[in-house]
Structure 1
Amino acid sequence: MKMETVKQTVTVNGMSCNGCANHVQRAFETIPAVQSVDVSLDEKKASVVTNQAVKLKEFQEALAGTNYSVVTIL
């Protein structure tokens, strides 16, 4: 049986360098449903592929204690 994938794009505030983008990517990869993450520093967005929809709160919790914040899921 093939597993469904969900693509979500989230806006991320607070990123100013590639190190920031890498930090956000690693944080999102800790969310259990996440399969892959592609962070765009220029667009201030992260494209996330998951095996089920991830709620805004889960993205926010992954960045808790950092200088980054998720504002919306596009």
Structure 2
Amino acid sequence: MDEKLKELIALANARGSKYMKGETSVSGIPEKVSELGVFLLTKTTRISELNGDKLREELNDVQQKIDDLRKAIFSNKLKK
């Protein structure tokens, strides 16, 4: 595995599911993707056990994180 990827995974693991929302630079996109990946992995087991309103809340939280990443990527594309 690539050393940079190992470093990003370690950083994301250290933050756990504490995904950091907000603007980021192009160089910060891999870090943001790693954080989102760990966030999604930690949510997977919880989501499978939920239903109704709780499931809707968790899925809404996941959607917000994905939207934040998408916005960060596209805002960086527009800056170029």
- TM-score bracket for this pair, using the shorter chain length: under 0.3
Q: Which has the higher strand share?
A: 1
Structure number with bigger Rg: 2
Relative to its length, the structure with more helix (as a share) is 2
TM-score computed with the length of structure 2 as normaliser: 0.26
